[in-house]
Structure 1
Amino acid sequence: MTDVENRCRLVLILPPGDDEQILSDRLEAALAGGDVATVIVPQYDRNDGQFQSLAERLVPIIQNAGAAALLSGDSRVAGRAKADGLHMQSSLQDLEDAITKFTPKMIVGAGGATERHKALEIGELQPDYIFFGKFDGDIKPEPHPKNLALAEWWASMVEIPCIVMGGNEVASVPPAAETGAEFVALRDAVFNHADGPERAVAEANRLLDEKAPRFDA
């Protein structure tokens, strides 16, 4: 393992917005700031055509930076845009169908794990990862305590990797990493950072280098 692969890594959640140029510029800046494992592009309230257009623009930017491009929304868009995978937020049946249809060709991860029982039900389907939190859940500087508790519980007993949603400040990264989670997700902490997305990602990686626990090789 490299040093980066031996500790918690960043996942970026693209924020909402109507201007593709602004979103792509902000994303390119963030990806220039340092290591990013994955970028999740949510559909938000875009129609399928708008989502398709945005995905086709952003997926190559993400992949050229060495990160995995995951789409959360219409699964048909992911295939057409040649994304690396899907983030599923829907029912267990839809998740099972997506895993059956797309793995191992594509990454299929799952959100919606709001408590332990639901997390275990999701885990039984063997997604590639489980996500604790909501994309728009970064309403406070620190991560939500419930998500931290779920991630710590999960990481201590289940091999499926987990992502925990951080807060709206970069300083929320170490507490998320200390749960043992393989990934911490940031949205506003990066894309609304006062010094810009590039500086935010650089600072997040500096904190992870300094403070994140190391996994066994």
Structure 2
Amino acid sequence: MSALNDRCRLVLILPDLAEDAMLAEQLSAALEGGDVASVIVPQYDLAEQAFQARAEKLVPIIQDAGAAAMICGDTRVAGRAKADGLHMAGSLEELGEAIEKFTPKLMVGAGAAADRHKALEVGELRPDYIFFGKLEGDIKPEAHPKNVALGEWWAAMVEIPCIVMGGTDVSSALVVAEAGAEFVAMRLAVFSHPEGPRTAVAQINALLDEKAPRFDA
């Protein structure tokens, strides 16, 4: 999940689809659309065995496209599926244990930072990134202003990269980029796009290429 580009990059959050084959098809199409830094794979309501099977199917697709495969929460599934990292959205204790146990073998990212105080507590544990918003938080066309504000505050002050959850509209990626965040996460904006996920990813990258602020080298 390096800053390959000198501007905000796209992180995909997989949607809650029942069929693994359909999810794999949608994911492959999205990854053909252009640059994707990483893909976060939530468990949703899947039992561990089904989540394991899903991860083993999707992780190679993600990695073959040059993106990092991040598994939500389940360290055993992440290990067995040979994922690149873990996305931890639970307690500080769980996050700390995961960082201690798996860094640097796996990347460990942190969700559940709902305010500045919690974000600073998370930052003290030195995760590979911090995520502002909820994985299913894209309920409006625009990114949630609170998450954008947290990302802007964090990016100006802390070296640990941040991911900010976008909205359901492709254009919300630019608002996140303009706040200074290193990454924008998108779910429905890509996987519910009327022209399909490949077009959505292409549109997001074109928008960021054209208008996103550049980071200082």
Q: Sort the TM-score into its range (normalised by shorter chain).
A: over 0.9
Partner of 2:153: 153
Instruction: Report the AA paired with residue 213 of structure 2.
Output: P
Partner of 1:26: 26
- Secondary structure of 2:171's aligned partner: helix
Partner of 1:129: 129
- Secondary structure of 2:78's aligned partner: helix
Partner of 2:15: 15
Partner of 1:92: 92
Distance in structure 2 (CA, Å) of the matches to 1:172 and 1:197: 16
Distance in structure 2 (CA, Å) of the matches to 1:15 and 1:84: 19
Distance in structure 1 (CA, Å) of the matches to 2:115 and 2:147: 9
1:184-214 deviation per Cα after TM superposition (whole angstroms, max 9, x unaligned): 0000000000000000000000000011111
Identity within the alignment, %: 68
The Cα RMSD (Å) is 1.1
Partner of 1:181: 181
Instruction: Report the AA paired with residue 108 of structure 2.
Output: V
Gaps of 5+ in 1: none
Partner of 1:167: 167
**4+ long deviations beyond 6 Å:** none
Distance in structure 1 (CA, Å) of the matches to 2:44 and 2:71: 11
Partner of 1:70: 70
Report the TM-score, using the length of structure 2 for normalisation.
0.98
Distance in structure 1 (CA, Å) of the matches to 2:191 and 2:215: 28
Once the 2 structures are TM-superposed, how far is the Cα of residue 73 of structure 1 from its aligned partner? 2.7
**1:119 aligned to 2:140?**
no
Once the 2 structures are TM-superposed, how far is the Cα of residue 3 of structure 1 from its aligned partner? 9.4
Gaps of 5+ in 2: none
Distance in structure 2 (CA, Å) of the matches to 1:88 and 1:157: 22
Partner of 1:214: 214
Once the 2 structures are TM-superposed, how far is the Cα of residue 16 of structure 1 from its aligned partner? 0.6
- Secondary structure of 2:150's aligned partner: helix
Instruction: Report the AA paired with residue 205 of structure 2.
Output: N
